[in-house]
Amino acid sequence: MINDILKQIIVDYQKNEKYSLTKRDLSLTFIPKMALGIVGARRTGKTFRTHQMVDELPENIKIENVCRIQFNDHRLIKIPVQELHIIDESYYSLYPEKRGTEEVYFIFDEIHRIKGWEDYILYLLETQTHRIVITGSTASLLRGDYASQLRGKLFPLELLPFSFKEFLRHYKVDQESISSKGRSLLENYFQKYIKQGGFPGLLDIPPQIHEELLITYWDTMLLRDIIEAHPEAKINITVLRYFADSLITRIACPMTTTKISESMKKLKFNFSIETLYKYLAYLSDAYMFRTVEFYSESQRVRARNYKKVYCIDWALAFAVSGGAGIDKTRAFENMIFIELYRRGYKISYYKTRDGFEIDFVVQDKSGSIELYQVAYSLEKEDVLKRELRAIESSVNFLKARKATIITVYEEYMLKGEKIDIPVIPAWKWLLQ
């Protein structure tokens, strides 16, 4: 029975009409004897990226060489781990001539839903002609139990919501235009990007239903990637939702789980502080949030300072919170954080003894440090002085090689006492 179902699934995909999709910047490279993992938040386009991968295969690789299985298919939800081997058996019963002689691409969406799936992947990797792609909405594919059980046989890549470059590419906007008309067009699309966010599913639907759809995304993340993904935790849904909503309203602000716990206790919620720490780990693992530590070489100093929290998408945060406490400046800062994260930096924040804050202290792989301040506008003199003083107070102590202020529109070179600081509009910085 399951054999016939799998054959039908395999053939149905191969006969499906091909998608017309916006090219993503995440490149996929197969490593010998390793599976390729595409991980990220729900609805960021992981499945569609694998469709694109099939289109990018060499001309000598036919669609019949692709075996795609989606484990959220209702026909496969209860497939036991001991029967996973029927997948490749079903495929090779359709194409016996390809066994061991041609490259075969196995694409598994959300296979981590099946407990013990890792051994099946290791089994498939024993055949040199197999190429395996795994997608999932859990960072545990990058690290943790999944990564260790795969014994270093998984090469994971993170797929985030659309970058501004990808956003413009989707709308077929020339990113290289430097004319006044071209700049105006880029600025207009940037304003659309701020309001709409980067989820691909929002790109071609009416703006009036964006907020409703984003709330649906959020509810699905909580249900599928937290509650259903951790049945053993017996999650208190009311506590989880209030805690997640509390994090949303603290976007781009210092926070501690202890402070949130104290507020929830006053409202008569019944839970332990350990429960909130566990929920925070689940929310981070599902790519719903990222936290940023205080910059210090001392683990003790980092641990005793507040963390800052950011959502995977600023428009998602605004929709879920109803805008409560999230003004345009904090959403703007969240957007810049996501881009820095996309570029692979190690990200921290810093506050001087005088109370001046550096929004982002970023380090590349060599350890070189740059400072980033995010200001919606520098038109007000007190804002300009604050941002400049924070950089001047920190640049030498942090041994930063460069400092940048990102705004919405302004562009000029700011002459400081210790360092020259470029002020750059976000739309231009995002395209660098």
Please determine, for residue 320, whether its predicted confidence score (pLDDT) is greater than 70: yes
What is the 3 state secondary structure string of 317-373? HHHHHCCCCCCHHHHHHHHHHHHHHHCCCEEEEEECCCCCEEEEEEECCCCCEEEEE
- Residues 6 or more apart in contact with residue 2 via CB below 8 angstroms: 79, 83, 86
pLDDT at 115: 87
* Strands of the sheet with 289-294, listed across from one edge: 254-255, 307-311, 289-294, 346-351, 357-363, 369-374, 402-407, 420-425, 412-415
Task: Please state, in angstroms and rounded to a whole number, the distance separating the CA atoms of residues 415 and 417.
Answer: 7
| Whole-structure pTM value | 0.94
pLDDT band at 179 (very low <50, low <70, confident <90, very high): low
pLDDT tens, residue by residue, 89-143:
999 999 999 999 999 999 999 898 888 899 999 999 999 999 999 998 888 776 6
Q: pLDDT band at residue 147, thresholds of 50, 70 and 90? A: low
For the chain, give every domain's residue range. Answer: 2-158, 163-199
Predicted pLDDT of residue 142: 63
Judged against a pLDDT cut of 70, whether residue 177 lies above it is answered with no
Average pLDDT over residues 185-199: 96
Length of the chain: 432
Tokens 């090779």 — which residue?
92
Average pLDDT along the chain: 93
Q: How far apart are the first and last CA of the chain?
A: 53
Question: Sorting pLDDT into bands at 50, 70 and 90, what band is 261?
Answer: very high
Query: pLDDT digit string (tens) for 361-411?
Result: 999 999 999 999 999 999 999 999 999 999 999 999 999 999 999 999 999
Does domain 2-158 sit in CATH 3.40.718.10? no
